[in-house]
Structures are given as structure tokens and as C-alpha cells.
A and B are shown apart, each in its own frame.
Chain A
Amino acid sequence: KAGVTQTPRYLIKTRGQQVTLSCSPISGHRSVSWYQQTPGQGLQFLFEYFSETQRNKGNFPGRFSGRQFSNSRSEMNVSTLELGDSALYLCASSSSGEYGYTFGSGTRLTVV
């Protein structure tokens, strides 16, 4: 069974640009969540999508957005990038959160 796939693995962008990250969950998993991981703030919840609907949203500015497609694949978008957006972005999928997430390997975003 394929795991959670995140693309790309690494990304370098310039301040002010926008970026789109992709996540393909485990087949059959309808819930996809996104986290930002930084050395200073740790793992912070961005949002969760379930059956194409945003079910939860963390405390991030509106520059951070996401969506989920009918095949459960998800994308997150960050517009007007800032240096502080440099982080590891982790995607996680689950069939039922009671049993925990399965995480992808993350996308390392560097904003210069």
C-alpha cells in the first residue's frame, strides 16, 4: 500500500512569490491535514480537509489556503511568501484520526 506522497520534496522561492504544495493520501483515506514545522514553533496545525471540505483551520493568516479534490488529493497554497514561511510542511492522512495519522516525508520550503 503506497504511503502519503508529498511533492516536491524541496522548494526554493523568492519573497513575494506564491507556492503550491501537493499531497496524495493513502488510498481510502478521506482526511488530509497539513502542518508547518519550524525549529522555533514546532509543529503547528494549518488545516484539515475531509471529503473536499475544510473541517478545521489553525491560526494562520489568509495567505495560507488549501483544497481537496474528489480523489482526496490535497494542495496547499501560500501566497506572497515571507522569509518566515521557510519551514517543513507536512501532510498527514487518516481514515479515522482515532488511530493516528500517516505522515508524508514533507516539503522543505526555503524562502529567500
Chain B
Amino acid sequence: AQTVTQSQPEMSVQEAETVTLSCTYDTSESDYYLFWYKQPPSRQMILVIRQEAYKQQNATENRFSVNFQKAAKSFSLKISDSQLGDAAMYFCAYRSSNTGNQFYFGTGTSLTVIP
């Protein structure tokens, strides 16, 4: 089974600054999808950004961008101009292209934004 590792249980960032959350994964597949989800205290998981493994270009969504290093099996999330509303748990997730919609999640990183 694929494993997803988030080595930073907690991170903090000053408002308006930039922070990078790390994620690594283990797979023998060449075609897959990677995601970052945000879970605020309201509990609802919200999709932040997605990346297709066959695309070399890093995905970006407004203030959120990823650094996808396929050979290193690394998928980090960069949040620019951090806002108080960015405070949440962030989960990295892997989806194979072969096994339906089973996602493998990391253990999460709790992000605190300091005013």
C-alpha cells in the first residue's frame, strides 16, 4: 500500500509571511494524483490544490503552490501571504490511477498563523 508522510506535526507562520509544508510519499506507480486538503475547526475537509503526476509543471491556486519532485517523491505546499483564515490542519493525500477512489492521507500538519 502507498504511504504518505508528513514529518511536521505543527508549523507556525507570521501573518503575511510564507510557509512551506512538507509531504513525501512512497509508491511504485508512475501515474497518480496528489492533493492537499485543509481541515479547519469546522471539520470539513476542503480541497486546496491538486497535482497530476504526469505533469511536470507545479500546480498553483492563488496564494497556494506546490513543489512537486517526482523522482524524490516529494510534494510540498507553499502558502504565500499567510492569512489568519489559513490556520487549520493540512493533509497531503495520494490517489492511484488504478485503484478507484481510495485516497491515502498523511497524518497532517497543524498550521498556526500568528497575527
Contact = CB atoms under 8 A, between A and B. Distances in A.
B100 A102 contact: no
Interface residues of B, number: 24
Interface residues of A, number: 26
Contacts of A88: 43
Interface string B77-108: 00000000000000100010101111111111
B35 A100 contact: yes
Given A98-B95, A100-B47, A100-B50, A33 B101 contact: yes
Contact of A50 (B35, B100, B108): B100
Nearest to B36: A100
Interface in A87-107: 88, 90, 92, 94, 97-106
Nearest to A46: B102
Given A56-B99, A98-B33, A99-B50, A104 B105 contact: no
Contact of B105 (A42, A56, A97): A42
Given A48-B102, A55-B100, 15 more contacts: A31-B100, A33-B101, A33-B102, A33-B103, A35-B105, A43-B91, A43-B105, A48-B100, A56-B100, A56-B102, A94-B101, A100-B35, A101-B45, A101-B101, A102-B47
Interface of A: 31, 33, 35, 42-43, 45, 48, 50, 55-56, 58, 88, 90, 92, 94, 97-106, 108
